[in-house]
Structure 1
Amino acid sequence: MAAYETKRTILFEHCDPAGIVFFPRYFEMLNGVAEEWFDKAHGINFRVLHEDMRRGIPTVSMNDITFKAPSRLSDIVTFRYGVKALGNASLTIRFEIVGEDGGLRVSGDQTIVFVDMDKMKPVPFPDDLRASIEKYKI
């Protein structure tokens, strides 16, 4: 998978009483990965995106989510974030979360839409952002 990669350490706040990541916490971490991806890979931080550009990227669907193995407190996991499909104003990301041993923990598809925040309507990706996003196609 030729994708953006970033690491996260599993913290106490991510875990349930069984000592493993409580599944909704993965989605919170994914939101952080999306924010980091826009900033580091495309040069658009979320303050600029939301306040200056008046654009947002809400998630509209999460599909084919598979939980293969648990992550535990202090584990270091790698998030792989690759572009599966790029539409006019939508983007489907294939994500994988893997452990230090290379074993798959979680995978799925996340679809986001580029929106005008004042109208809450989809708008086309700007050409420069589209070109940057295309570099992460898998």
Structure 2
Amino acid sequence: MDSRGIITSDLIFASILILMVIGSILTIITERLDAVSKTEETGKARMIAENVAEIINNVYSGGNGHSANISLPANITDKNYEIKINSSGVFVLIDGMIGKAYVAPNKFSSSDLFKETSICMHNNRKYLIKNVADEDGNNWIIITET
């Protein structure tokens, strides 16, 4: 056999093997970076949920007539999000992931009609959160866009 032909086939085999190893390493790195990005989004969503829950709890503990304004951030890592609030807590939804925070009050409404609803808040908007007592003396958290 020709000695040059053996070296060439070994070189081709080694090159293919190295390319396969590099390709698999790049795939692993890409997956890790995606996981880090999703962790960052979830962390920021949780911080927004905690902030909204803290304001709601402060308004609730302030008693009847207490209110506060909140301005929501424009986005989370350049992605839109929405906040859902109900008696179970505050939920920030972004890209199929959820950040959650608990709240003390359990009666929420989007109007002074005291109809219990799930409230939806959107990014880059301002809201008024107020504590209002109904005719039976029950405290309601009313959230309206301003």
Pair in the same fold by TM > 0.5 = no
The structure in which a higher percent of residues are strand is 1
**TM-score normalised according to structure 1 size:** 0.31
**TM-score normalised according to structure 2 size:** 0.30
Higher RCO (CA < 8 A, seq sep 6+): 1
The structure in which a higher percent of residues are helix is 2
